[in-house]
Structure 1
Amino acid sequence: MIAAAAITVLATPTAALLTLLTHRALRRAQAAKTLRIDSPHGIDEQGFVRIGGIDQWISVRGEDRTNPVLVEIHGGPGAANSVYTARTRSWERHFTIVRWDMRGAGKTFGRGGPEGQGEATFERLYEDALEVTRYARDLLRAERVILLANSYGSVFGLRLARNHPELYSAYVGTDQNIHTGGRDTSAHDALRERLRTAGKAKRLAQVEAIGADPHAWTPQQRATYAKLSAQSDPLTLATLKKVVMCSMWLSPLHSLRDLRDYFRGQSFSERITEGTAGLDDRADGTRFEIPFFLFQGEHDVLTPTASAKAFFDEVEAPVKRFALIEDCSHFASFARPDRFLELLQTHVRPVVAGKRGADA
């Protein structure tokens, strides 16, 4: 959907296209100014780091190196969060943000192309995430870091937080994805009902043909299902246009070629979901040895809020907190970045502040 919009823009008649590109250049220049970090103890390091045998793009930004370190695991798969850097600028005053374009995504995909991604599997990306975590700890001299995972990244996030409490001071999930081994069909049922109510017979037929059992879906069917889910919900569709597409188009860190690579990376990364169709988060365990936080969009239909809350209720952790991000669907942390920062400041930072060492 986003790729098609970009192609439409580039196919616009020359005069209108020049106007669009001029407007884009001005807005990107303005955004670039707001991204400058001039504080004496700040950090702004962006570039490629050798992770898992290939060059992967990592950004480390913050106004004070002594702030808590937050390592981000983005969603998709293949939907790098680097395009949201301008929207989350306020976070960098209170946290050092480590933002990574995963294997098969964004600038990492652009660097090596499809041939240079190596083994693009869930297991390989999980090992990459551990390596990125250790890189961040060494660079910033932090014994443990906050793990922030959104959407498909939260599939990695739960397992990283459960298996490696020695690396993380807290887990923060948003757009939290809960796998149930195929038992819970409520999201599929809700999508069918939305399409039926809207009279979208063709799309309803597509959903019914895909079926309710994710074990049987091909990667392409999973991508189609996600697209149909987003299109069926006005709030999600509006967020895609106003937040996701605008962030991409106006990102001062991304050229038009980078945006092309972004879309290509998303298509390439569809294969990664083959490694997660049969996962069961409850069976893997609901006990965590670190503080556990879920901040979820109130009306999320892609990773349903009710499913996330039901899982949260079963979690055992030293500290746990669930909070809604009001009037939001998916992409809640980027739709309302100031509200998300408020939740980080109110609930997460008091738990980890001043505890960058082994006692975090």
Structure 2
Amino acid sequence: MISTVVMTSVAALAAPAAGTLAHRRFRQARNARLIRIDTSNGIDEQGFVRIGGIDQWISIRGEDLDNPVMLEIHGGPGSSHSVYGPRTRSWEKHFTIVRWDMRGTGKTLGRTGADGQGEISFTRLYEDALDVTRYVRNRLGVDRVVLVASSFGSVFGVRLARRHPDLYSAYVGTDQNIHDAGRDDSAHRALLARLHAAGKRKEAAAVEGMGRDARAWTAEQHAAYAKIAATSDPLTFATMKTVVMKSLWFSPLHSLRELGDLAKGMKLSAKLLPETAAFDDWADGTRFDLPFFIFQGDRDVLTPPEHAKRFFDAVQAPVKGFALIDDASHFASFRHPEQFLNLMLTKVRPVVTDGAASVAS
């Protein structure tokens, strides 16, 4: 849901001033050294795997293959997590991290171009996620993996976790996106109040013109709403500049051409937003037969923590836990990777490694 803001910035990065390229190369080289894994039982594997009839990019990294496996489902739609490797390097000491560029996204898109992506729909990507899960289980020889889904990825995540507890040892949602078939318009009202208070009449008129029911919005309106919401909130906008854009620009895994692929993928994947707008997480069910956690930014205006907490309170699960990440908007786990890691180590890892039954508060 934040892909338009990223896409605009990526397009600018892909055509930089000549004087910035040397600094970029220096930082890329430093980040490449930072993410190097050379432990005896570690893994650093990136490449293309045949998933759903096309080659899709998957990365598997960690310092110890005996650690729990964490499969990430990225958001956007189309917003690859592969750029955040240097920021989350410490996670790989405790988990084997699997990152996947979805169909129509990032390196998967760059492999064969838009015409080679096949169908891009929620159902198709959901089936891809199941295939990726099965591939990872077979590749690493594990029965189940920790499913970590963020932002738009959490729309997939809750459905995967609800229907397939046999595949996942726990569900962790961050920037958790809750759909309720349009019943709650508090985020829309809060955005209008913020815009009017700031004297942003043009933006307020645009948001008012969309109406409060996101189920009726076009893909372009979903994108415009997310852009206005992100850029009108100081913390979200600061996070975009200092966390997201720097991670993109200094990624050791991406060439300038591949930054362009990221931008193209976000635009291509935006068609998923109207398709999912009418989803209803409550109607689909609040029972989960696996440990269920939500770690949300305490000041997230895009996926407000109040929405996530209401859903969490209704969830029935063998173990569940909710926590706020301090001083965080959207992209909470990447703004404060050490806070997120601490929650994973204190609340999630004991459950998936020891079967602990204590409920995190």
Interval of TM-score (by shorter of Structure 1 and Structure 2) = over 0.9
Residue matched to 1:320 = 320
With 38-47 and 108-117 compared, the bigger mean Cα shift is at 108-117
Residue matched to 1:67 = 67
Shift of 1:2: 3.8
Q: Structure 2: any 5+ residue segments left out of the alignment?
A: 356-361
Q: Provide the secondary structure at the position in 2 that maps to 1:147.
A: strand
Q: Does 1:168 align with 2:200?
A: no
Whether the aligned pair in 1 keeps the contact of 2:235 and 2:328 (CA below 8 Å) is: yes
Shift of 1:11: 5.5
Amino acid at match of 1:247: S
* Partners of 1:178 and 1:171 in 2: CA distance: 15
Residue matched to 1:280 = 280
TM-score, with normalisation over the residues of structure 2?
Answer: 0.95
Amino acid at match of 1:346: T
1:4-153 mapped onto 2 (5 Å cutoff): 4-8=8-12, 17-153=17-153
The superposition leaves residues 162-184 of structure 1 with CA deviations (integer Å, 9 ceiling, x where unpaired) of 00000000000000000010000
Q: Structure 1: any 5+ residue segments left out of the alignment?
A: 356-360
The superposition leaves residues 34-81 of structure 1 with CA deviations (integer Å, 9 ceiling, x where unpaired) of 111100110011011000001100000000111000000000000011
Q: Provide the secondary structure at the position in 2 that maps to 1:312.
A: helix
Note the aligned Cα RMSD (angstroms). Answer: 1.2
**Runs of 4 or more off by more than 3 Å in structure 1?**
1-12
Amino acid at match of 1:99: R
Whether the aligned pair in 1 keeps the contact of 2:7 and 2:266 (CA below 8 Å) is: no
* Partners of 1:319 and 1:5 in 2: CA distance: 40
Residue matched to 2:335 = 335
Whether the aligned pair in 2 keeps the contact of 1:176 and 1:308 (CA below 8 Å) is: yes
Q: 1:199 to 1:147 in 2, by over 3 A?
A: same
With 156-165 and 112-121 compared, the bigger mean Cα shift is at 112-121
Residue matched to 1:308 = 308
Shift of 1:4: 3.8
Amino acid at match of 1:293: F
Q: 1:279 to 1:6 in 2, by over 3 A?
A: closer
The superposition leaves residues 284-311 of structure 1 with CA deviations (integer Å, 9 ceiling, x where unpaired) of 0001000000000000000011000111
Shift of 1:5: 3.8
TM-score, with normalisation over the residues of structure 1?
Answer: 0.95
The superposition leaves residues 1-24 of structure 1 with CA deviations (integer Å, 9 ceiling, x where unpaired) of 444445545666xxxx33211000
* Partners of 2:86 and 2:47 in 1: CA distance: 17
The superposition leaves residues 120-157 of structure 1 with CA deviations (integer Å, 9 ceiling, x where unpaired) of 00000000000000001001111001000000000000
Amino acid at match of 2:179: H
* Partners of 1:57 and 1:298 in 2: CA distance: 32
